[in-house]
Structure 1
């Protein structure tokens, strides 16, 4: 049994099926992640072709099936993230964000909040905001989807929310300096990195007008996030490995502007 209806979707991945057809995974606002079959888009003038490209959102006229693949029949209001599609660096970060979302969410798991965040985050990258920082924000947010979000609001021992903090795996959250002794194996992370990670967990994309973080602090943030993911999530996506390798030649192609915090 099926029904034809409009769904608002964001393209997560596309792969060719035989010679002329495609399998397109959409994250939809209404149904969560679904795999769609798209027939006969070899013709470059096919109106569906622009709507199934990576980094595209649209309103799809779809035949939703409870079992098996659903089908995209028509499309309207196609909105590509053009800058991400054309820029290799933005593309790399955007690809990882979408693959992380795919890994964090079950198929058909409806989450309007995550859908809206993904759209806002990709819009921010497309508008030229720092893609690496946007990626870090999603990495922290998706800890909740993986079911392992630590306590980042304040010290897990006394509850204080002001001052410097470090992260404790033992207590699955932050420690203030008065309680560092509670975990001798705490991360010994940069207080500045912890500050930004706390901020990433709560800030709204709509409130981000500019991003200014030094390369040194970005490295410190990266180190903490890597520890969190290694300990609690345990996945290493190919797109992340590509970003790691990209860092080795990025500065050769794209000079980094001086940044201040």
Structure 2
């Protein structure tokens, strides 16, 4: 009988397979990014239906196969249901999942990226924080975790923007979303993160394009 492995993680991508199954990409603490198949998860009443959806965070019990896993069961501690009530917030969250998928690697410790993703989605639910700020903090910290950053801002900015940049670099995920920025400083911070992304991130994100269309965002010059 195959041994069951339990991993802590979040579902970051879901796609249908056949008539009744789902293919999940899960960012886990123990193994980084894994692929798991949820058999019968599209069948009404199947216990795997609810746990096989994006943003589901918790403990996943899996059987390991040659190239993928089979999901046996899951204990979800946070579905982030509140996010589904906010269309814009859902778009931001979907982009975070896509960026995490881009950076995550298989068979590697996923603790840092998983913590960042979890705290960033929680931050989207905080009314006091602007989604634009949450996005840029998440992007910068994801690049930092991958070693793709400069210790100081890549263009001349105010002391406040420079401090924000350095704070994000050195702070743990749990302490990232504890500050706000004035509009002028936020614009400087956004500009710096965009420069860094252009330098290091070689991918167009579909969810980000949708988000830009929805918010009418234009790249700052």
Q: TM-score range by the shorter chain?
A: 0.7 to 0.9
Residues 113 and 51 of structure 1, relative CA distance in 2, 3 Å threshold: same
Secondary structure of 2:62's counterpart equals strand
Question: Residues 236, 190 of structure 1: CA spacing in aligned structure 2 closer, same or farther, 3 A cutoff?
Answer: farther
**1:136 positional shift:** 1.1
Structure 2 equivalent of residue 21 of structure 1: 21
Q: What is aligned with 1:234?
A: 202
SS of the counterpart of 2:42? coil
Provide the C-alpha distance between the structure 2 equivalents of 1:147 and 1:203, rounded to a whole number of angstroms.
15
Maintained 8 Å contact 2:51/2:76: no
2:156 equivalent to 1:188: yes
> 2:16–2:22: 8 Å Cα contact kept in structure 1?
yes
Higher relative contact order (CA 8 A, sep 6+): 2
In 2, the alpha carbon distance for the partners of 1:11 and 1:121 equals 15
The superposition leaves residues 140-159 of structure 1 with CA deviations (integer Å, 9 ceiling, x where unpaired) of 1122344322123xxxxxxx
* Aligned partners of 1:51 and 1:58 also within 8 Å: no
TM-score (ref. length: structure 1): 0.73
Structure 2 equivalent of residue 36 of structure 1: 36
> Which of structures 1 and 2 has the bigger CA Rg?
1
Q: Give the ranges of 4+ consecutive aligned residues of structure 1 lying more than 6 Å apart after TM superposition.
A: none
Deviations 1:201-223 (A, max 9, x none): 23344346754333443332222
Q: Structure 2: where are the runs of 5+ without partners?
A: none
Q: 1:2 deviation in Å?
A: 5.3
Q: Which secondary structure does the structure 1 equivalent of 2:43 belong to?
A: coil
Structure 1 gap ranges (5+): 153-165, 168-186, 250-261
TM-score normalized with structure 2 length = 0.85
User: In angstroms, what is the RMSD of aligned CA positions?
Assistant: 2.4
**Aligned residue pairs, count:** 216
In structure 1, C-alpha distance between the alignment counterparts of 2:10 and 2:72, rounded to whole Å: 16
Distance 1:208 1:151 in 2: 17
Distance 1:194-1:2 versus aligned 2 partners, 3 A rule: farther
Residue in 2 aligned with 1:201?
Answer: 169
